Structure 1
Amino acid sequence: MMQPQLDCEDPVTQLDMNICSRQEFEVADKALNEQWSKVAAHKKSNDESALKNGVKGGYFEILLKSQRAWIAFKDRHCDAVADAYRGGSIRPLIYNDCRTNLTKQRTDQLQKMIEPN
């Protein structure tokens, strides 16, 4: 038996909203990963150029540390935001919305590391 297609433009139940919010986060996370690949390659290129000029690089290492810190922040922050709804059926929606919003912001921040304006 086929499952009915979920309409995320107009979800009806809380479960539908939770599922749609998870899907929205997955789209944002994919965009973040694509941007990460671009900025990581850019920083690695900066490291190579620096080494050729006899200067210490470290651009990628700093980026990697900042990304790991950001991931930890995002996860803990969104846990804290959603914690007010602990035990409630809306908690996954609040958690996913928080992660989606922060992920979109981070994607924008990473893009600006390559294209400042």
Structure 2
Amino acid sequence: MMPRTIATVVLLLAPLPAAAQPANCANAVSQADMTACAAAGRSNADLRLNQSYARLRKGLSAGGQERLKASQRAWIAFRDLECQFRSNGADGGSAAPMVAATCAADLSRARTADLDRLGKCAEGDLSCPR
């Protein structure tokens, strides 16, 4: 009985990695594929943003870390609201998730560049966080 259960679970889960992978994004035609590609782009941008945030945070004082955390939380709220605004033309349509994910990825990449720049400030630059 146990081997049959394991085999069933393996067979049911086997298609999941393939289903989770978006189609060739350069040639995506269907809305489902374009949405999957946009979601993957957002996930990648979020991952890079989190890495940049962690790198910057390591070099800050305790006070700087608290300010960065507050700033990042406010920025995330801004990003989410901004993307709701930017994607309102697609509300209710099948493209809405793609438009929102693309917006979030674009804004996250810009924020990542800002955090990376702040992490490379020259010593003595008073406009840089410490």
TMscore range, shorter length: 0.7 to 0.9
Number of aligned pairs?
105
Structure of greater Rg: 2
Q: Secondary structure at the match of 2:52?
A: helix
The answer for the alignment partner of 1:10 in structure 2 is 27
TM-score, reference length from structure 1 = 0.82
Higher relative contact order at CA 8 Å, sep ≥6: structure 1 or structure 2?
1
For 2:80, which of 64, 75, 78 is the aligned residue?
75
Large movers: runs of 4+ above 4 Å: 1-5
Residue 87, structure 1, aligned to residue 92, structure 2: yes
Residue 31, structure 1, aligned to residue 48, structure 2: yes
Q: What amino acid is the match of 2:54?
A: S
The answer for the alignment partner of 2:64 in structure 1 is 59
Q: Secondary structure at the match of 1:9?
A: helix
Gaps in structure 2 of 5+ consecutive residues: 1-13, 123-130
Distance in 2 of aligned mates of 1:88 and 1:20: 17
Q: Give the root-mean-square deviation of aligned CA atoms.
A: 1.9
TM-score, reference length from structure 2 = 0.74
Instruction: Give how far 1:116 is off.
Output: 3.6
The answer for the alignment partner of 2:38 in structure 1 is 21
Q: Secondary structure at the match of 1:66?
A: helix
